[in-house]
Homo-oligomer: A and B are copies of this chain.
């Protein structure tokens, strides 16, 4: 294994864990974060100075403007032969503009989808990368440190050119929406049926041997052990963008995606106090059939 230096920008929940895992892999990591209590260096300039050229800098900040702004700064601070990797959940359409901006200064660019959440520190992260073969090759020691142990191909892929890594991660998350909703519907049905006196045990019995066994199922079993009947929480569920983008891609490619769309809409629904759609339906039933409506207050 080649030991490398890595600059890592963004030491939040994900970034801090990744710093730890890359260091455990035998590499030197210089981390930067605006919060003094977690950062290794006081400024971005100091981070760049702390690395020997040619540098590799991993960006792990919130998607959208924060990531684009960081890339713009790096385009100023880095130089010919350096390499930037965006490991956040950026939309894939940000990647080519980022790559172009950096390429104008002779700086390379990779986009890397990272999956694994808070468990990645221990289990390793699944990685999907977009960019050139040469850039991927160069950063491979870092990818090898981050990915799960075992066969590289089970936790790492070079998915295609710039943009492919984030595209793959977006689809990964779209699938994730569908999987979670499928387990959720099944859980709801088990809870609804009086015959099933042992919902949590039934789900746990699917952990091994069955067709539906998965890591998400393991987590659902764990959640039910920690909060039997999920009585401490509500169904209010946020979404962080990738599910929306996946459905937009389905539209762009004319690919039917009823399951992923249904999972996305269920989240929207979970955040509504009431539904204008259903008010209209209820009003219509009242109009044509005299069916009772439920009055507000």
Residues of A within 8 A of B (CB): 13, 92, 115-120, 123-128, 130, 147-148, 150, 153-161, 163-164, 167-168, 171-193, 195-198, 201-202, 204-217, 219-220, 222-224, 227, 230-238, 240, 244, 246-251, 253-271, 274-296
What are 13 A-B pairs at a CB distance below 8 A?
A118-B288, A155-B207, A157-B205, A159-B197, A174-B189, A188-B257, A219-B284, A224-B283, A233-B295, A234-B282, A248-B251, A250-B265, A269-B269
Among B195, B209, B214, B260, the residue within 8 A (CB) of A185 is B260
Please report the C-alpha to C-alpha distance between residue A280 and residue B224 in the assembled complex, in whole angstroms.
Answer: 9
Is the CB–CB distance between B274 and A235 below 8 Å? yes
Please report the C-alpha to C-alpha distance between residue A285 and residue B239 in the assembled complex, in whole angstroms.
Answer: 10
Please report the C-alpha to C-alpha distance between residue A14 and residue B116 in the assembled complex, in whole angstroms.
Answer: 35
**Chain A interface main SS type:** helix
Nearest B residue to A162, CB-CB: B195
Among B168, B232, B264, B290, the residue within 8 A (CB) of A202 is B168
Closest Cβ of chain B to A252, distance in Å, is 8
Is the CB–CB distance between B277 and A185 below 8 Å? yes
Is the CB–CB distance between A193 and B210 below 8 Å? no
Nearest B residue to A282, CB-CB: B237
Please report the C-alpha to C-alpha distance between residue A7 and residue B228 in the assembled complex, in whole angstroms.
Answer: 38
Copies in the complex: 4
Among B147, B206, B212, B262, the residue within 8 A (CB) of A209 is B147
Is the CB–CB distance between B124 and A279 below 8 Å? no
Interchain residue pairs A-B with the least CB separation, the first 8 = A178-B182, A235-B278, A214-B214, A126-B210, A157-B205, A184-B277, A115-B210, A256-B265
Please report the C-alpha to C-alpha distance between residue A187 and residue B283 in the assembled complex, in whole angstroms.
Answer: 12
Residues in chain B near residue A181, CB distance under 8 A: 178, 182, 258-259, 277, 281
Among B176, B280, B291, B292, the residue within 8 A (CB) of A188 is B280
Closest Cβ of chain B to A279, distance in Å, is 4
Closest Cβ of chain B to A257, distance in Å, is 5
Among B92, B184, B275, B276, the residue within 8 A (CB) of A276 is B184
Is the CB–CB distance between B262 and A259 below 8 Å? yes
Please report the C-alpha to C-alpha distance between residue A195 and residue B179 in the assembled complex, in whole angstroms.
Answer: 24
Please report the C-alpha to C-alpha distance between residue A223 and residue B283 in the assembled complex, in whole angstroms.
Answer: 6
Is the CB–CB distance between B205 and A215 below 8 Å? no
